[in-house]
Amino acid sequence: GQQLNQSPQSMFIQEGEDVSMNCTSSSIFNTWLWYKQDPGEGPVLLIALYKAGELTSNGRLTAQFGITRKDSFLNISASIPSDVGIYFCAGDPSNYGGATNKLIFGTGTLLAVQP
């Protein structure tokens, strides 16, 4: 099945550092979403992006919808221990401009924060 390429695969950082991760696709997406998953639980939505070039913040999190509609990035500023988890990008692939009703996920970025 189709998947989005997400990088890096994992990050090990010190508390207080900033984090950046990105997601790319070979095809155009209508929507980009960013999720966080804690162990043994379902992913939780962090940020949703709907327009090319859109930049949206949610507290210490900032995400952008790439101009080409084929990529997105997520930044976390001043990381704290509770930021630990797996971060996923997700997108609704375009079907000649219309929605496909599918939601495709990236391969995930594992974030570890050392106090």
Partner 1 sequence: SQTIHQWPATLVQPVGSPLSLECTVEGTSNPNLYWYRQAAGRGLQLLFYSIGIDQISSEVPQNLSASRPQDRQFILSSKKLLLSDSGFYLCAWSAPMGATEAFFGQGTRLTVV
Contact flag: residue 102 with partner 1 (CB under 8 A): yes
Residue 63: what residue type?
A
Q: Print the binding letters for residues 71-100 with partner 1: x by CB under 8 A, - otherwise.
A: ---------------x-x-x-x-----xxx
Distance CA 36, CA 31 (A): 17
Q: How far is the CB of 16 from partner 1 (least distance, A)?
A: 26
Give the three-state DSSP class for 99.
Answer: coil
Q: How far is the CB of 68 from partner 1 (least distance, A)?
A: 20
The total of other beta-carbon atoms located within 10 Å of residue 11's CB is 18
- Beta strands at 71-76 and 19-24: parallel, antiparallel or unpaired: antiparallel
Preceding omega of 81 cis (within 30 degrees of 0) = no
Q: How far is the CB of 78 from partner 1 (least distance, A)?
A: 25
Contact flag: residue 13 with partner 1 (CB under 8 A): no
Interface positions with partner 1 (CB under 8 A): 1, 3, 30-31, 33, 40-45, 48, 50, 86, 88, 90, 92, 98-108, 110
